[in-house]
Amino acid sequence: MTTSQCFENPPSLSSECGDGCVQELGGLKTYITGPHDSKLAILLISDVFGYDAPNLRIKGMKMQRMVVVKLARSDDIQAAVLLHPGPITVDEINEVKTPISILGAEIDRASPPEKLKQFGEILSGKSEVDCFVKIFPGVSHGWTVRYSLEDESAVKSAEEAHGDMLNWFTKCVK
C-alpha cells in the first residue's frame, strides 16, 4: 500500500542513468547490474516511480515493504532492508525471521519514529533475528531516492542510508 507521502517530491524520470541494463526476469522488466556469473544477488524492489528514477539507479533504492516484509518472514532470503518503509503492522514484524534493517525518516506519516522504535524493540527481543533500526533526523519519507543533488544535507543523509544498507548486506549476505 502506498500513501500520499509516497507521491510527494516526484523525481525527474530518466532511462539514461546507471551502469546496468533492463532485461525481462520472471515476466517483469528488471534493472540488472554487476557480473553475470555472480552467485549472489541483491533484489531491489523500487518505489512507486520505478527504476527510471535517477537517484534510484545511481545512488539509492527503496524497497517496497509488502514484498520485503513477506520475504523476511520466509527462509528465501539472507537479509532484508526497508528504506522509508511505509505502513507495516506489528503482526508483520512479529513474523520476521530474516536479519532485517529498517531505515526510517523522522518525518513519515506512514511509519513515524515511534512505530519504528516499537519495531526495533520487538525485533531486538527475538534472539534469532539480527536487526538494525535507525531513524534519520530532519528527512521525510522517500529521502533516499527523491532528493536534489544540489542539496548537500539531503545528499549526505541519503548517502549515509545507502552506506548503512550496503554495510547490512555485506554483514548478512554470504
Q: pLDDT at position 5, please?
A: 47
pLDDT at 160: 96
Residue 142 is predicted with a pLDDT of 82
* Residue 42 CB partners (closer than 8 Å, separation 6+): 169, 173
What is the pLDDT at residue 70? 83
If you ran DSSP here, which 8-state letter would residue 119 be given?
Answer: H
Q: Which long-range contacts (CB under 8 A, 24 or more apart) does 150-153 make?
A: none
User: How many helical (H) and strand (E) elements, i.e. helices and strands, does the chain have?
Assistant: 5, 5
Can you give the pLDDT of all 174 residues of the chain as single tens digits? 445 544 455 444 445 555 667 776 656 566 677 777 877 766 655 544 555 554 453 333 334 567 788 888 988 888 988 888 878 899 999 999 999 999 999 999 888 999 999 999 999 999 999 999 999 999 998 888 778 889 999 999 999 999 999 999 999 988
Class for domain 4-13+43-172, per CATH? alpha beta
Predicted local confidence at residue 42, as pLDDT: 66
Closest to 57 in 3D by CA, of 32, 82, 29, 83: 32
Domains in the chain: boundaries: 4-13+43-172
Q: Round to whole Å and give the CA distance between 119 and 111.
A: 10
Can you tell me which residue has the cell 532470503?
77
pLDDT at 97: 94
